[in-house]
Amino acid sequence: MTFSGYVVEDHFDEVFGENGHPRTTARTLVQNIEQLPPGELVNRQKAAERALLQMGITFNVYGAEAGTEKIFPFDLVPRIVSATEWHRIEKGLKQRIHALNLFIDDIYHGQKIIKDGVVPRDILHSATSYREQCIGWNPPRGIWCHITGTDLVRHRDGQIYVLEDNLRCPSGVSYVLENRQVMKSLFPKVFSSAKIRPVSNYPLKLRDMLEYLAPEHIPTPRVVLLTPGIYNSAYFEHSFLAQQMGIELVEGRDLLVEDGYVVMRTTKGFERVDVIYRRIDDDFLDPECFRPDSQLGVPGLMEAYKAGNVALANAPGTGIADDKVIYAYVPRIVKYYLSEEIILPNVPTYICAEEKELNYVLEHMNELVVKAANESGGYGMLVGPHSTKEQCDEFAERVKANPRNYIAQPTLALSRVPTIVDGHFEGRHVDLRPYILCGEEIFVLPGGLTRVALKKGSLVVNSSQGGGSKDTWVLADTCLSDHEAVEVDCAPAGAEN
Amino acid sequence: MLSRVADSVYWMSRYVERAENVARFIEVNFQLMLDAPAGADQQWQPLVNTTGDHEDFDKRYGSATEEGVLRFLIIDPQNPNSIFSCLRAARENARTVREIISSEMWLHLNKYYLMVNAAAANPRILESPEELLGDVKLASHLFTGITDATMAHGEAWHFCRLGRKLERADKTSRILDVKYYILLRSVEEIGTTFDDIQWAAVLRSASAFEMYRKRNGRISPRGVVEFLMLDREFPRAIQFCLLAARDSLHAISGTPVGTFRYPSEKLMGQLCSDLSFASVDEIIKGGLHEYLDELQNKLNQVGAGIHDTFFALKTPERVKKTVRQSQTQ
């Protein structure tokens, strides 16, 4: 299979330059793919899909016949990021997380940023992710947002923008790890010739970070991952991460609070828990503190947390920083706390709560992407250029009724990566979600989840709306020090095919 | 380990073993009928009786035809003990403990489930299910082998083994019972060649024919009952299974064998003693079916005891109180 018929059109293509030649970073890959015997790539694609199905890396299809499970579609052509570009992304993400952590801490303490008039007070108090219960609270080691998945996109101008911060329970990192596993077994040759930075130590880094949060007098802390259970669409990821970290995967019913400590029910009686990596939203964590009807959480958990007897990651209340309206203020937040210019810019954003901007949005609905502040997964949004006049008008009414709840952004021409479609390559739009851990220091996983909109022309990459994923190769700097291991390949010799 | 996890590992293992044994039930019936004298009635009702699910079957299927019984036992999603349901349940349990079991176990169990799922969707599968039944037996064996070879033989493994051995002891007793139900309908055949053939079929369905031959040579009802119930070396014999289950139970609790701390250990110890000091003549004299029935009852009690001791840890009274108080505040 070759790229001979492949056209870049007027998009930014991650693999081919404007002249139609492969970018330097992608040369080895393109050569390797073109050298494969005809049909081989499609065979490998099928092998990858079979492997994913048999490994049970599937999600339940709601509303379909019982027992229908689908894999999260996976495309073999990876996205490649050069060492130089990654260096900048990494720096930008560290800056952003550093500032957001200071912001959250300020919000639940003195609220200096509001008093200084940088962020308006009413925007804060109307945010549904603001938790009054957290006021005055100091989380272990002063960290709020331990695990973040920040969505990045590249526009036609070649510039990388931050599209969204996900600071609550960002998911998808298991696909990063599994996709890499599959790619290594299918393309051992490419891995041994290209210098691709490894991602496999993520679970270790995650565990280290979580242990760092434990109360200091505990020599060997017990860390657990709290899941809503097997019917959650991200359940696979929860069990995968627990397995890879070597920690217990618990449900709310496994835990209880006894004398101010969290314990779990075991075959040998009750055992103490020191750190909880929770994959349950704030609202469901503790029926005594948040939603009283929650069946998923643990009654009394917040009391144990506030007594300093257990650590929670991410800290309750963190969601305030990924509110879509707060997002618009992040460049100002960075400037305010760090006195630095933001390294990775935001997508230009119109805040409907501000009257001038609201009027602009209402007049230009058909050119903009309008988003509800507290929705995710591609729901509650309007893609103006792809919508009818009626849809735009209807959405405009919703915005007028509650302007605080909406922001708008120009429609970005997301960059594309060649993707296998019916036996040949076509360009498909992608975004990129790197994962950042904030513990003793801030760690950015060199890689990330590249999501791809598989429908022709579509810009919606969410898995619930026909998106798939790709492996993301961050190339190593050739002059890196020796201890920066390069993923040469773990496949046994002779496994080549 | 977590009580919920122990519960899931135990049931995962039981369901895999159960699926295999349902396949064995059906095979013994096929064997019996193939060897039956010309003109003999097809007997499918006894098969349903031995599984213990005859009430559900009678209600939904009425009379026991070959097609109906096979559907009920192999692919019926509403029968919680059909092969399909067993695999679905085993896999659901495995999904909740993926971080505890080895990836190899999960991968195999998932493939096994996908195989049965595909078979259940095949409209012609009931016309000749023999190959599927063979595959089911093999896949269950593989699962056990993979479990033993890839999982640390610690607490979770002991829960796997405990579940598997208890299930197998129960099912071997029911395979013996199939013969009993068939005998009910053909008393006049006792001691005939046909009777020997039937006993041989029972042995075959427990993969015990060759091992029995090596030990006893001639086939006799007494010999078969003794071999399948009291043998200490044959891995599907009830005695063998219970001794292994007892060892795992004590490995989990840490209580020395021969003593007890929990009701489940007491019941298990008593059951093992009963079998250790039982003779086959006494068993037959008192009625084989009655003995097996009682054995199955005791096995159920052991299972309930294990549930209470390890899986259903009670919330301490004082915690219950504080929870109530804070909820009324």
What are A75-106's pLDDT values in tens digits?
999 999 999 999 999 999 999 999 999 999 99
pLDDT digits (tens, 9 = 90+) for A404-434: 888 899 988 899 999 999 889 999 999 999 9
CB contact under 8 A, B319 and A257: yes
Q: What's the full length of chain A, in residues? A: 497
- Say what the pLDDT of residue B323 is: 47
pLDDT digits (tens, 9 = 90+) for B284-313: 888 888 999 999 999 999 999 999 999 987
Q: What is the CATH number of the domain that holds A388?
A: 3.30.1490.270
For residue A400, is it within any domain?
A: yes
Taking the CA of residue A55 and the nearest CA in chain B, the distance in Å comes to 5
Radius of gyration in angstroms for the set of CA atoms belonging to chain A, rounded to a whole number: 23
Cα separation of A259 and A253, whole Å? 17
Given strand A406-410, what is the order of strands in its sheet? A350-351, A406-410, A368-372, A381-383
Cα separation of A475 and A486, whole Å? 9
For residue A487, the SS3 value is strand
Taking the CA of residue A37 and the nearest CA in chain B, the distance in Å comes to 30
- Say what the pLDDT of residue B114 is: 93
Of B3, B100, B117, the CB nearest to A265: B3
Neighbours of A249 (CB within 10 A): 27
For strands A467-474 and A74-81, give the pairing.
parallel
CB-count burial class (<10 Å; 0-12, 13-18, 19+) for B297: exposed
Interface predicted TM-score (ipTM): 0.76
CB contact under 8 A, B310 and A235: no
- Which of A256, A277, A309 is where one domain is finished? A309
Beta bridge partners of A450: A432, A470
- Does A487 score more than 80 pLDDT? no
Q: Is the pTM of this model over 0.80?
A: yes
CB of B10 closer than 8 Å to CB of B159: yes
The answer to whether residues A353 and A305 belong to one domain is no
For residue A117, is it within any domain?
A: no
- Does A473 score more than 80 pLDDT? yes
- Say what the pLDDT of residue A61 is: 58
Which parts of chain B register pLDDT below 70? 37-42, 181-193, 317-329
The answer to whether residues A233 and A295 belong to one domain is yes
* Helix, strand, coil percentages, rounded to 5, for chain B: 75, 0, 25
How many A/B residue pairs have CB atoms within 8 Å? Answer: 79
User: A63 falls in which pLDDT band (50, 70, 90)?
Assistant: low
- Say what the pLDDT of residue A339 is: 96
- Say what the pLDDT of residue B190 is: 57
Least Cα distance to A432 among A447, A419, A445, A449 occurs for A449
Q: What would the mean pLDDT of A385-407 be, rounded to a whole number?
A: 87
- Does A491 score more than 60 pLDDT? no
- Which of A373, A388, A411 is where one domain is finished? A411
For residue A482, is it within any domain?
A: no
User: Measured in whole angstroms, how far is the alpha carbon of residue A84 from the centre of its chain?
Assistant: 22
- Say what the pLDDT of residue B319 is: 61
Q: What residue numbers bound the domain in which A383 lies?
A: 349-411
Cα separation of B310 and B49, whole Å? 32
Q: How many CA within 13 A on the CB side of residue A233?
A: 14
pLDDT digits (tens, 9 = 90+) for A438-454: 999 999 999 999 999 99
CB contact under 8 A, B4 and A251: yes
CB contact under 8 A, B313 and A54: no
Q: What is the CATH number of the domain that holds A220?
A: 3.40.50.11290
The answer to whether residues A283 and A356 belong to one domain is no
Least Cα distance to A241 among A213, A205, A271 occurs for A205
Apex B47 CA angle, A66 and B89, nearest 5 = 30
User: A188 falls in which pLDDT band (50, 70, 90)?
Assistant: confident
* Mutant choice from A265, A276, A289, A301 vs B, greatest count of B C-beta within 10 A: A265
Least confident of A65-79, A167-181, A225-239, A413-427: A65-79
Query: Which residue has tokens 């499970």?
Result: A69
* Helix, strand, coil percentages, rounded to 5, for chain A: 35, 25, 40
The answer to whether residues A222 and A301 belong to one domain is yes
Kindly identify which residue of chain A lies nearest to residue B121, measuring between CA atoms: A67
- Say what the pLDDT of residue A303 is: 92
- Say what the pLDDT of residue A202 is: 97
- Which of A256, A279, A309 is where one domain is finished? A309
Q: What would the mean pLDDT of A132-138 be, rounded to a whole number?
A: 89
Q: How many domains would you assign to chain A?
A: 2
Q: What is the DSSP letter of B325?
A: H
For residue A271, is it within any domain?
A: yes
CB of A170 closer than 8 Å to CB of A148: yes
Q: Name every residue whose Cβ is closer than 8 Å to that of residue B152 and which is 6 or more positions away in sequence.
A: none
CB of B9 closer than 8 Å to CB of B93: yes
Q: Name every chain B residue with its beta carbon within 8 A of the beta carbon of A299.
A: 323, 326-327
For residue A274, is it within any domain?
A: yes
For residue A362, is it within any domain?
A: yes
- Say what the pLDDT of residue A22 is: 93
CB within 8 Å of chain A, chain B residues 100-159: 100, 103, 106-107, 110-111, 114, 117, 155
For residue B65, the SS3 value is coil
- Say what the pLDDT of residue A380 is: 75
Q: What would the mean pLDDT of A219-236 be, rounded to a whole number?
A: 90
For residue A37, the SS3 value is coil
For residue A181, is it within any domain?
A: no
Query: Which residue has tokens 């695999």?
Result: B87
Phi first, then psi: give them for residue A387, nearest 5 degrees: -120, 160
- Say what the pLDDT of residue A374 is: 66
Cα separation of B174 and B288, whole Å? 11
Q: Name every chain A residue with its beta carbon within 8 A of the beta carbon of B99.
A: 239-240, 242-243, 247-249
Q: For the stretch A188-210, what's the b/e string if a residue is b when 16 or more beta carbons lie within 10 angstroms of its beta carbon?
A: bebbeebbbbbbbebbeebbebb
Structure token pair of residue B130: 């023999």
For residue A374, is it within any domain?
A: yes
Cα–Cα distance list, A9 to A5, A12, A17, A265, A397 (Å): 12, 8, 11, 59, 36
Q: Name every residue whose Cβ is closer than 8 Å to that of residue A397 and which is 6 or more positions away in sequence.
A: none
pLDDT digits (tens, 9 = 90+) for A323-353: 888 999 999 999 999 999 999 999 999 988 8
Mean pLDDT (chain A) is: 87
User: Measured in whole angstroms, how far is the alpha carbon of residue B98 from the centre of its chain?
Assistant: 23
